[in-house]
Amino acid sequence: MKKKMIALTVASFVFASAIPFALPAGSAYAATATLSQGDNGSSVTKLQNDLMTLGFFNYSKATGNFGSITESAVAAFQRAYGLTASGEATGTTQTAIAHAILKKKLLADANKYKGVKYVWGAESPKTGFDCSGFVYYMFNKFGVDISRTSAADMYKKGASVSKSKLMPGDLVFFSTSTKGKVSHVGFYVGNNKFISATGSKGIAINPIDSGYWGSRYIGAKRYY
Dump pLDDT digits (tens) for 33-63: 999 999 999 999 999 999 999 999 998 899 9
pLDDT at position 24, please?
41
Total count of residues recorded for the chain: 224
2-104 belongs to which homologous superfamily?
PGBD-like superfamily/PGBD (1.10.101.10)
Is the CATH code 3.40.50.1970 the one for domain 109-222? no
pLDDT at position 7, please?
36
Domain boundaries, the chain: 2-104, 109-222
pLDDT at position 130, please?
97
Considering the entire predicted model, what is its pTM? 0.83
Helix (H) or strand (E) run with residue 206 in it: strand 202-207
Alpha carbon distance 210, 187 (integer Å): 17
Number of helices and strands (H, E) in the chain?
7, 8
Beta bridge partner(s), residue 159: 222
Helix (H) or strand (E) run with residue 194 in it: strand 193-198
pLDDT at position 60, please?
87
Tell me the CB-side half-sphere exposure of residue 28, using CA atoms within 13 A: 14
Beta bridge partner(s), residue 190: 193
Contact 170, 220 (CB under 8 A): yes
For 78, residues 6+ apart whose C-beta sits below 8 A from its C-beta are 84, 85, 86, 87, 93
Which segments of the chain have a pLDDT < 50?
1-31
What one-letter code names the amino acid at 211?
Answer: G
